[in-house]
Amino acid sequence: MTAGTKATQSAPIQAHATTPHLPYHPRPLKRGERSRREVFVYFSPRNQRIAMIADMVNVALALRLEFDPALSHYIERPRRLKVSDKHEIDITFWTRSKTGQEAFYLVVPDSGTVGSTVSTLSIRDRSVLEAAAQRQGITLHFVTEDELLSSRTWLATAFELLPLVWQYGRLLNRSMIRARIEGLMRNVERTNLSSLLKALDYEPSHVRAVVAAMVHEGSVRLVDYQPGGMDAVLEVPHA
């Protein structure tokens, strides 16, 4: 499932816009941070804004959040955690679910260190971080780099799907294609992407884009998909 190359009409996007009604906003990266860290900048369909994620290990979690249909929003670098009088570190992400539940996530890289306001800081001792978070009235959820790497197949799939979801937002005929797909899948639990392509008289890249968007929102899911595959099994999730 890869994005096609046909031109589509693009909707206007406000670069680096924030969402006013949310309690947190991304901390802007300083020029020095942007020059010394790997920075991934992309349009987030989940947030409907440009996201700027520093460090690839954090990008991995960002993609997991982007394709989590239970979430309404996620914010990178939402606030800092004061660990000591000298050290403050960025909390990696804040999330809000569609039911209103909120959570803070801190990614723990294999190095065991993160940048702080004055230098690097070891974060291997979770009890210190948990105590600091408790003092500041929040609960931290820790995500290790090993945990993220263990889902590398899904991460590769997310990288593959994201451009298709972008394409979906620019398609003028997306509602018609989606209605046809929903009609074809109404009475079946599973079908193949190739079957949809044969049944629908639309540009294949447009059908793939609509399917990717449906995966993104959770109305269908991929079954045992291998990134780069020409076909895919689609399943309607049970309630």
Q: CATH number for the domain including 44?
A: 3.40.1350.10
Phi and psi dihedrals of 84, rounded to 5?
Answer: -150, 180
Q: How far apart, in Å, do the first and last CA atoms of the chain sit?
A: 26
Q: pLDDT tens string for the chain (239 positions)?
A: 665 544 334 444 444 556 778 999 999 999 988 888 899 999 999 999 999 999 999 999 999 999 999 999 999 999 999 988 888 889 999 999 999 999 999 998 887 767 666 566 777 778 888 999 999 999 999 999 999 989 889 999 999 999 999 999 999 999 999 999 999 999 898 999 999 999 999 999 999 999 999 999 999 999 999 999 989 999 999 76
Domain count, the chain: 2
Coil, helix or strand at residue 140: strand
Residue at a domain's end among 91, 121, 149: 149
Domain annotation covers residue 21: no
Query: Could you give the count of Cα atoms lying within 13 Å of 69 in the half-sphere of its Cβ?
Result: 12
What range does the domain containing 225 cover? Answer: 152-235
139 and 196 fall within a common domain: no
CA distance 236 to 182: 10
pTM of this structure:
0.88
